[in-house]
Every structure is written in C-alpha cells, then in structure tokens.
Amino acid sequence: MYTASLPPAAPGEANKASDRPWAVTLLTPDDEIAGISATELIHFPDNAPVLFVGPNGIPPETMEELRRLHPVGIARHDGVQVFAVAPPPIPR
C-alpha cells in the first residue's frame, strides 16, 4: 500500500505533501507485457504506483484507493494524474 497517510484536507497538505504520489498507473492484471512496460512509471521520476482495473471499468476498491491517494499531478506532463497502460485494441 502506498503511504499517503494524510488526508487531502489535512492542515498544510495543499495536495503537495511528499506523501502523495504524483500520478497513478492503471493496469489490467491479465496483461503481463503492459505491466512490464509500465514499471518505469512506478518509480522516480514519475512516482505513479500501480492500481488495477478490469475489463468493465474501475472496480470500487480501485476507485476508493484512487480517491485516497489523490495524486497531485506531474508538472512536466502538464499535470497528468493517471497513466492508463493497455495494449492497443485489436481490429475486428
């Protein structure tokens, strides 16, 4: 679990505290290649821990953790807060 121990509304937090991730990385647990490809996003310089999503969207547990983490955004990426890592759709 990522620490993010202070709630976003804590005094002095201003969503910039060092315990907040800059972003999160959303992955599906069944795609090993996407997971391996996303490892560079998890640590510095992006600081974007992994959360899992499913084929039907974002599970309630992931949404709860996303709200708790409250990523602050990556300045050099125009404030991006979420990286969605997935393979391109297969044409039918």
More confident of the two residues 5 and 56: 56
Please report whether residue 91 resides in a domain: no
Please report whether residue 46 resides in a domain: yes
Count up the domains in the chain and report the number. 1
Beta bridge partners of 74: 80
Torsion angles phi and psi, residue 52, rounded to 5: -100, 140
The pTM for the full model equals 0.74
Please report whether residue 13 resides in a domain: no
pLDDT band of residue 60 (cuts 50, 70, 90) is: very high
Please report whether residue 1 resides in a domain: no
Give the Å distances, CA to CA, from 55 to 31, 42, 90.
11, 22, 14
pLDDT band of residue 85 (cuts 50, 70, 90) is: confident
Q: State which residues form the domain around 38.
A: 24-84
Please report whether residue 32 resides in a domain: yes
| Cis peptide preceding 45, ω within 30 of 0 | yes
- Residue from 20, 17, 45, 38 nearest 86 by CA: 38
AA letter at 17: A
